[in-house]
A and B are shown apart, each in its own frame.
Chain A
Amino acid sequence: MCGIAGLIHRGKSSNVGSELQGMLQALKHRGEDSTGYALYGDTDGKNFIMRFKVGENVGEGSSSVMEDVSVYDERKKIVDQTLAEMGAKVVKEERTLPYSLRYEIDYDSKDLLDFSQRIESIPGVEILSMGKSLEVIKDLGNAKMVCDRYSLDKVVGTHAIGHARMATESGVDIKSAHPFWGYPFSDVSVVHNGQLTNYWNNRRVLENKGMRFMSECDSELIAVYIAEKMRHGATLEEGMKESLTGLDGVFTYFVATKDSLGMAKDTMAAKPLVLYESDDLVAMGSEEIAIRSVLPQEIDTYDPFDGEVKVWQI
């Protein structure tokens, strides 16, 4: 049992970091092994923002192996060197935690596949997100703990999705935490609640097509599946509709891009989702109490039906 939440402001920006924190914290009883945020902040759109990790959180409950901080430093140095070799200039650098970094990068090429492959060829390094608006922040603990650790409550933007995770089929670590970046697409992220039963079959097919998996978490398949569809020219909505038959199992998931937010529900409607929709705001979550954290007044909400796909623009 995991909890997912998302919201999109249409025509304006808001404090999405704080809002999503409230929504995910309301769902913490659905799982607090890890919590992840995909925030679409207000930026000038000139530089790429790369969130990446050079190690794992080895705190209480983690299934990761302890490493010395000097190992992280060494990996960071290799990342810096690789970026320089690719002609990517680091404009701004933040190291929130020894293993977690945020770079603003001046990089001209649109081919993020080659870029990502080179960065992730460095052992122990994983790009959490790459985009001109998207930032994926995920770590162990509940929503408030992660929000405080990364000072997310002041992030202003248009939309966001997040995930409160109860680890069931893979480890308690950052690499298995949601959201997943829609590698190698700029600004695409996914969160999922459910289980996929044809994960390995799909994974083998997609890997043969050159797609990459960083974890053994079945939810990552959704991000890769949709990314692969988009790579071949499908729109986000088309990719999501295909997933209803291409993915087997029970699921409710959200996908966000730079300017849109979508939801899909499996054909058995086995996983919960409550949705609020108005002209200027769409908010949704696994339970109504998530929505109530941003809209405490009496509102009209509903459960989308089985096999439903919806996409909203900012």
Chain B
Amino acid sequence: MANLKTVSKKSKAQSMGMHTEVLTGRTQQKFFNPDEAENFYYFGTYDVDFNKRTELDVKEMTAPEANKEIDNLMSQGYGTIVIKNPQGKHSLGVGILNKLNLIFEGSLGYFGMGSCDGPIVRINGRVGWSCAENLMAGKVVIEKNAGSCFGAAIRGGDLICKGSVGARTGIDMKGGTIIIGGDAGAFTGFMMQRGRIIILGDVGINLGDSMYDGTIFVGGEIGSYGSDAVDSELTSSDQDWLKRKLKVAEIGENFDVSKMKKIVAGKKLWNYDNLEPTEKKGAI
């Protein structure tokens, strides 16, 4: 091993043998430079032009074929893609890690727009279970209703359903905002860890059950509170945020946000502040 005391700071890592591995595949030489944050793209994404628009009829396509064709169109620089005849197919639009205007003229089945990061999506129909699961960033707007597990485990972005949604909306969500124009089913916000859910209508039983953190705003009636979900004071800054968010979401234009209920975690179930036994031993 090199004498680390004598080598310069710059070459210390090399001297320790940390840069001798041969990188292959996606990670090769794709280092994140904070100075170029605005220009940072995932490997394999495309520089698209929003003004370059095209249509894609997926009636006779399988979901993998349709998704591959969306990728192909992005590679040609199309920044606005209109999908015709989705007809409730599952897994359409998944894994898009690109800026893109995507418009679905119809309804999606299960897992639509899952694991995406960046696209702006408008769905002029309904979506099935687990829409936009794991969304990282971007905006997904559904004009009609949505199935259960809407926005499961999202990390960021805005997910908006103008109609009603099924059970377990925002289950395990870790960030972002979910906005529901109508009603929501049972177990909304189940085990949510961060982020915000806004429901303008009624919500079913066990709201916010076992939530770790995050905030739920409800405009209508609540079926029942889940374990460790408690009421909190709706502040003026909450109201300002709600007004702004609903305006951007083009939803609930005349909705009186001052009457909304705010639900947060009671934080009696979680114990992150406690040290693990081994840590306690170390502390002593």
Residues of chain A having any CB pair with chain B under 8 Å? 267-270, 272, 274, 287-289, 291-292, 296, 298-303, 305-306
Contacts and interface: CB of A to CB of B under 8 A. Distances in A.
A302 B126 contact: yes
Contacts, number: 74
What does DSSP make chain A's interface, helix, strand, loop or mixed? loop
B186 A269 contact: yes
A253 to B, nearest CB: 17
10 contacts: A269-B148, A287-B90, A287-B128, A289-B90, A292-B88, A296-B87, A300-B126, A302-B163, A303-B146, A305-B204
Given A269-B167, A287-B88, A288-B109, A300 B185 contact: no
B110 interface: yes
A267 B205 contact: yes
Contacts of A274: 128, 147
Contacts of A270: 167
A292 B128 CA distance: 13
Interface of B: 87-90, 105-107, 109-110, 124-126, 128-129, 144-148, 163-168, 183, 185-187, 204-205
What does DSSP make chain B's interface, helix, strand, loop or mixed? loop
Nearest to B85: A296
Nearest to B87: A292
A274 B166 CA distance: 10
B126 A291 contact: no
Given A268-B186, A302-B126, A306-B186, A289 B109 contact: yes
Contacts of B187: 268-269
Contacts of B205: 267, 306
A296 B144 CA distance: 17
A274 B107 CA distance: 12
A62 B88 CA distance: 33
A303 B186 contact: no
B144 A303 contact: no
Nearest to B105: A298
Nearest to B167: A269
Contacts of A299: 107
Given A268-B167, A303-B166, A306-B204, A289 B126 contact: no
A86 B90 CA distance: 53
B107 A306 contact: no
Contact of B87 (A289, A300, A303, A305): A289
B126 to A, nearest CB: 5
A272 B163 contact: no
Contacts of B87: 289, 292, 296
Considering the complex of A and B, which 10 residue pairs feature the smallest CB-CB distances, nearest first?
A288-B88, A269-B167, A303-B166, A306-B186, A302-B145, A289-B88, A292-B88, A305-B185, A303-B147, A292-B87
Given A268-B187, A302-B163, A305-B166, A289 B89 contact: yes
A233 to B, nearest CB: 30
B126 A288 contact: yes
A298 B147 contact: no
A308 B126 CA distance: 20
Given A288-B109, A289-B89, A301 B126 contact: yes
A291 to B, nearest CB: 7
A121 B165 CA distance: 49
Nearest to B183: A305
Given A269-B185, A274-B128, A288-B88, A302 B109 contact: no
